[in-house]
């Protein structure tokens, strides 16, 4: 199927009443959780995942994807108006966005963020259209050795990019790998770390761990500072960027989009790295770097464009290789597998309506978000003044129902509660859970592909270095690992992440 026919099919899939409606529900929910600090897309998607089992698979994926990229828009609203990043990837937006708001340019900052996001979303979607079929046709040449190397790269990237100390990130990743090993070994069928209970024979469900850590854990952490939370919202005046604004933000949006598109595809990097890198780049090449941090519109437009571009393109490795680059993408795979759809090179030929429908719906979703976010921005800002004591019981109930309905198992709800406590502990100790979650997915995959590659090659490890793709990927991973040791890189990393705190 060529791209034109694909887009036509996508258009007919995405414009059915239910798909259109669920796309809207998705972006609406996404914006809401993006606005609300402490409730991110991972928790929301894991909560809603079981409720999508009854939907057709395309509708389910369209809605879940909408939540994900919708939250990228919503996150910037509170970042600009209240200096509260609703979403981790909006952290850099607070630097200049809130400064602009303080100078009475809130509307222009919001417009820069939304326009940047929309442009990046459009380009990101186009990029999927062109590169996903290409990658899918290449994917068959990827054997176990190539997959293994890509996964190693993803694991290392996620560690290097985690906030906080590297040692903590490394520890979290190792812990994640161990959690991922629980269950029946694929190769021998042996039970590992199951403590003799049949409930653990299939391993820990990643959705349960993610819901516990990101859902319940965040609720617990938020309860603590509930009385401290003050919602002072800056008043929004004109939403129209001036001619000068357009001139200053057009190139940063282009560059941010480019960075986001590329980093979104890199396994393990995701949206956070995209927004940080875009901000750093703009600051570096700007003629007036002194304005950054004091309300430079470039510092809003570029990272917002980058995080939204990455939010679209990180679907590419997930859909075409079945390789989740981020925890959110791992949830998407979960949503697909439950419905009997295996992401991978075959998805374009087996599920063309799903693939193209998703892509077209992403563009629709971005368009809806543009309109949802600009005129209605005041409404979203009000959402934050909803007292948390109304929100948290609702969240808890949804989390519990969601987790129970995955396997109809009370054991899972207990496990989720346990990981909620653990998530709270991570929050208090400043250990970022993202590497843990990703390692829990990628660790067992790495083992599976490593052992399969060695089984097929009869124990000859040179297969990892004779394939060019594998060798190249491993080299990048090694360089990344080496760069941590270099004091100069460490300084850059710490500065970059400090700005985030």
Contacts of 455-462 with CB under 8 Å at 24 or more apart are 455/187, 456/143, 456/144, 457/145
Judged by CB under 8 A, does residue 188 bind other proteins?
yes
Q: Write down the least CB distance from residue 36 to other proteins, Å.
A: 30
Judged by CB under 8 A, does residue 83 bind other proteins?
no
Judged by CB under 8 A, does residue 401 bind other proteins?
no
CA distance 451 to 447: 6
Residue 83 vs 194, nearer CB to other proteins: 194
Q: For other proteins, what does the binding mask look like between residues 412 and 451, x meaning CB under 8 A? A: ------------------------------------x---
Q: How far is CA 228 from the centre of its chain?
A: 28
CA distance 80 to 175: 36
Judged by CB under 8 A, does residue 404 bind other proteins?
no
CA distance 14 to 359: 9
Q: How many CB atoms lie within 10 A of CB 172?
A: 24
> Which among 256, 287, 267, 222 is positioned nearest to 92, based on CA atoms?
256
Q: Which region, judged by CB under 8 A, interacts with other proteins, from 91-99, 152-160, 178-186, 396-404?
A: 178-186
> Which among 125, 101, 93, 70 is positioned nearest to 301, based on CA atoms?
93
Judged by CB under 8 A, does residue 181 bind other proteins?
no
Please, what sign has the CA dihedral across residues 5, 6, 7, 9? positive
Residue 317 vs 345, nearer CB to other proteins: 345
CA distance 172 to 167: 9
- What HEC string does 434-480 produce? HHHHHHHHHHHHHHHHHHHHHHHCCCCCCHHHHCHHHHHHHHHHHHH
Residue 273 vs 332, nearer CB to other proteins: 332
The H or E element spanning position 330 is helix 327-338
CA distance 222 to 202: 32
Residue 8 vs 201, nearer CB to other proteins: 201
Residue 83 vs 409, nearer CB to other proteins: 409
Judged by CB under 8 A, does residue 345 bind other proteins?
yes
Q: How many CB atoms lie within 10 A of CB 468?
A: 9
Q: Write down the least CB distance from residue 142 to other proteins, Å.
A: 7
Q: Which of 186, 379, 461, 482 binds other proteins (CB under 8 A)?
A: 186
Beta bridge partner(s), residue 192: 183
Judged by CB under 8 A, does residue 1 bind other proteins?
no
Rounded to the nearest 10°, the torsion over CA 285, 99, 115, 275 is 50
Judged by CB under 8 A, does residue 291 bind other proteins?
no
Judged by CB under 8 A, does residue 346 bind other proteins?
yes
Judged by CB under 8 A, does residue 407 bind other proteins?
yes
Q: Which of 131, 184, 250, 286 binds other proteins (CB under 8 A)?
A: 184
User: Is 183 strand, coil or helix?
Assistant: strand
Per the structure block, which two tokens stand in for 388?
């948390």
Q: For other proteins, what does the binding mask look like between residues 453 and 472, x meaning CB under 8 A? A: --xx-x--------------
Q: Write down the least CB distance from residue 404 to other proteins, Å.
A: 12
Q: Which of 15, 16, 286, 339 binds other proteins (CB under 8 A)?
A: 339
Q: Which of 8, 21, 134, 337 binds other proteins (CB under 8 A)?
A: 337
Q: Write down the least CB distance from residue 128 to other proteins, Å.
A: 20
Q: Write down the least CB distance from residue 407 to other proteins, Å.
A: 6
Instruction: Report, in angstroms and rounded to the nearest whole number, the Rg of the chain calculated over CA atoms.
Output: 22
Q: Which of 30, 70, 74, 144 binds other proteins (CB under 8 A)?
A: 144
Q: Which of 3, 130, 134, 201 binds other proteins (CB under 8 A)?
A: 201
The H or E element spanning position 192 is strand 191-192
**Which 8-67 residues touch other proteins, going by CB under 8 A?**
53
Between 298-313 and 243-265, two packed helices, what is the crossing angle to 10 degrees?
Answer: 30
Per the structure block, which two tokens stand in for 394?
């609702």
Q: Which region, judged by CB under 8 A, interacts with other proteins, from 18-26, 310-318, 394-402, 405-413?
A: 405-413
Judged by CB under 8 A, does residue 317 bind other proteins?
no
Q: Which of 26, 124, 215, 322 binds other proteins (CB under 8 A)?
A: 322
CA distance 236 to 110: 9
Residue 83 vs 407, nearer CB to other proteins: 407
Q: Write down the least CB distance from residue 441 to other proteins, Å.
A: 13
CA distance 475 to 70: 35
Q: Which of 68, 118, 142, 206 binds other proteins (CB under 8 A)?
A: 142
Q: Write down the least CB distance from residue 408 to other proteins, Å.
A: 6
Q: Write down the least CB distance from residue 447 to other proteins, Å.
A: 12
> Which among 45, 37, 44, 39 is positioned nearest to 330, based on CA atoms?
45
Residue 140 vs 285, nearer CB to other proteins: 140
Backbone angles phi, psi at 485, to 5 degrees: -70, -30
Residue 458 vs 488, nearer CB to other proteins: 458
Query: Interface with other proteins by CB under 8 A: which residues?
Result: 53, 139-144, 184-191, 196, 198-199, 201-202, 322, 337-342, 344-346, 407-409, 448, 452, 455-456, 458
């Amino acid at each position: 199927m060529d791209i034109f026919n694909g887009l036509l099919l996508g258009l007919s899939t995405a414009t059915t009443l239910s798909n259109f409606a669920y796309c809207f529900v998705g972006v609406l929910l996404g914006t809401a959780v993006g606005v609300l600090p402490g409730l991110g897309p991972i928790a929301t998607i894991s909560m809603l995942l079981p409720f999508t089992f009854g939907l057709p698979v395309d509708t389910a994926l369209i809605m879940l994807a909408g939540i994900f990229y919708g939250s990228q828009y919503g996150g910037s609203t509170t970042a600009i108006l209240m200096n509260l990043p609703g979403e981790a990837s909006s952290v850099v937006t607070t630097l200049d966005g809130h400064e602009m708001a303080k100078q009475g340019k809130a509307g222009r900052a919001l417009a820069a963020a939304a326009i940047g996001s929309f442009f990046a979303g459009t380009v990101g979607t186009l990029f999927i259209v062109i590169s996903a079929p290409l990658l899918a046709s290449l994917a068959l040449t990827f054997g176990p050795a190539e997959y293994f190397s890509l996964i190693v790269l993803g694991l290392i990237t996620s560690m290097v990019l985690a906030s906080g100390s590297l040692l903590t990130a490394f520890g979290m990743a190792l812990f994640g790998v161990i959690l991922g090993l629980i269950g029946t070994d694929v190769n021998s069928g042996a039970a590992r770390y199951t403590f003799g209970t049949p409930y653990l024979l299939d391993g820990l469900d990643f959705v349960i761990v993610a819901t516990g850590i990101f859902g319940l854990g965040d609720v617990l952490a938020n309860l603590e500072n509930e009385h401290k939370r003050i919602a002072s919202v800056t008043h929004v005046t004109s939403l129209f960027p001036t001619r000068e604004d357009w001139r200053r933000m057009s190139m940063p949006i282009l560059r941010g989009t480019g960075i986001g598109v590329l980093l979104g595809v890199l396994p393990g990097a995701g949206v956070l790295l995209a927004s940080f890198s875009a901000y750093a780049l703009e600051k570096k090449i700007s003629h007036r770097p002194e304005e950054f941090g004091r309300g430079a519109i470039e510092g809003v437009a570029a990272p917002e464009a980058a995080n939204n571009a990455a939010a679209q393109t990180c679907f590419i490795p997930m859909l075409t290789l079945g390789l989740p680059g981020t925890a959110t993408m791992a949830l998407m795979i979960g949503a697909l597998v439950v419905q009997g759809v295996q992401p991978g090179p075959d998805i374009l030929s087996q599920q063309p309506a799903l693939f193209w429908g998703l892509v077209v719906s992403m563009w629709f979703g971005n368009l809806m978000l543009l309109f949802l976010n600009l005129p209605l921005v005041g409404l979203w800002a009000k959402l934050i003044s909803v007292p948390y004591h109304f929100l948290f019981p609702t969240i808890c109930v949804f989390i519990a129902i969601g987790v129970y309905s995955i396997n109809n198992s009370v054991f899972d709800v207990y496990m989720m509660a346990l990981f909620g406590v653990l998530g709270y502990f991570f929050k208090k100790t400043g250990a970022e859970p993202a590497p843990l979650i990703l390692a829990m997915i990628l660790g067992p995959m790495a083992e599976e592909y490593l052992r399969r590659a060695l089984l097929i090659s009869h124990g000859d490890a040179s297969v990892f270095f004779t394939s060019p793709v594998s060798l190249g990927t491993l080299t990048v991973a090694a360089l990344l690992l080496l760069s941590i040791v270099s004091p100069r890189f460490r300084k850059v990393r710490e500065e970059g992440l400090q700005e985030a705190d």
